[in-house]
Amino acid sequence: MADRTLILAFETSCDETSVAVVENGTKILSNIVATQIDSHQRFGGVVPEVASRHHIEWITRCTDQALAEANVSYNDIKAVAVTYGPGLVGSLLIGVTAAKAIAWAHNLPLVPVNHMTGHLYAARYVGEFKYPQMALLVSGGHTELVYMKAEHEFEIIGETRDDAAGEAYDKIGRVLGVNYPAGKTIDEWAAKGEDTFHFPRAMEKEANYDFSFSGLKSAFINTVHNADQRGEKLNKYDLAASFQQSVVDVLAEKTMRALDRYPVKQLILAGGVAANHGLRSRLDHDMHKYHPDVTMLQAPLKLCGDNAAMIGAAGYMCYQHGDRAGMDLNAEPGLMYGRMK
């Protein structure tokens, strides 16, 4: 029988309580996700204290359900993987504590996983990774270009200097009266409108790979507020399309430029905003036009949001490389990759 390494994985970095059982980093046996969206919608965003309390309520139930759905016991598990950062410290601590307790009680190795590495490895379920590789990671709290010369070598070559792309979507969504999280609705509206407002493309032509979406957010909000003061009604579909076109233009431009400088075999698209159809379509077009020899792996839509299956895939890779943590493992809310000089 082929080697069968089962990883029990935990993800509680923000407002999703998730536990999964993953086989050899490529097969999902179970992936339980308890969402908290309804609890946070009335606040227009995630409330950290509320999120951590929900994790406490759900973590044991999700663990039991993940093992039952995978039809395995703790005796079948080879290691426990857990997100220990970045994220909300209170939320992270629930997952880290649960993982440590299980690892200690069942004498299992404890594997620490960077949340962003998890997002990247969601694409591993689509196809085999080949190196060197570039990843565009776009989520609610992070927008990063990560260069990987080899497996388990992560270096940030570009990142957002203020708002992340997903964060900007949620902020302009509130102005438009869209419930949190706003990304999906804005994406759907954008498909029905046109870029008539021509919002700024911040840092698009600068000689770096960094991003900035704060100015775009401010320009959008000012446009809407000025129209409201004049009693003018703006087309919400055109507003959404104009905002999204600006975000997509910058993300695509910076990514293509990074690929020009760093020859790679693959481009990975992952993170919550990777589910955006406008971004997927644009990158498909640009990759075929400018980098036809580079294959692109896009994280499956159902795995773009926070989930433990992605942590299981990344955890298997980290386990194979000998990454281990002791019972003193703590949450690191500001955890990052090393930045390239």
Nearest-angstrom CA–CA distance, 131 and 126: 16
Tell me: is residue 166 an annotated ligand-binding position. no
- 137 marked as part of a ligand binding site: yes
Q: Is 140 labelled a binding residue?
A: yes
Q: Is residue 312 marked as binding?
A: no
- Ligand-binding annotation for 238, yes or no, is no
Pairing of strands 295-298, 266-270: parallel
| 286 annotated binding-site participant | no
The verdict on whether residue 315 carries a ligand-binding annotation is no
Asked if residues 242 and 197 have their Cβ atoms less than 8 Å apart, the reply is yes
Sequence-separated (6 or more) residues with CB below 8 Å from residue 91: 12, 13, 14, 15, 48, 51, 52, 55
Residue 297 to residues 50, 144, 206, 241, 266, Cα–Cα distance (Å)? 35, 16, 27, 25, 7
Instruction: Confirm or deny that 225 is annotated as ligand binding.
Output: no
**Which residue do the tokens 């104009």 mark?**
242
Whether residue 162 is annotated as binding a ligand: the answer is no
d(CA 331, CA 341): 27
Beta pairing class for 143-148 and 155-159: antiparallel
The answer to whether the annotation marks 170 as part of a ligand binding site is yes
Binding-site annotation: residue ranges for Fe cation: 115, 119, 306
Binding-site annotation: residue ranges: 115, 119, 137-141, 170, 183, 187, 276, 306
Binding-site annotation: residue ranges for substrate: 137-141, 170, 183, 187, 276
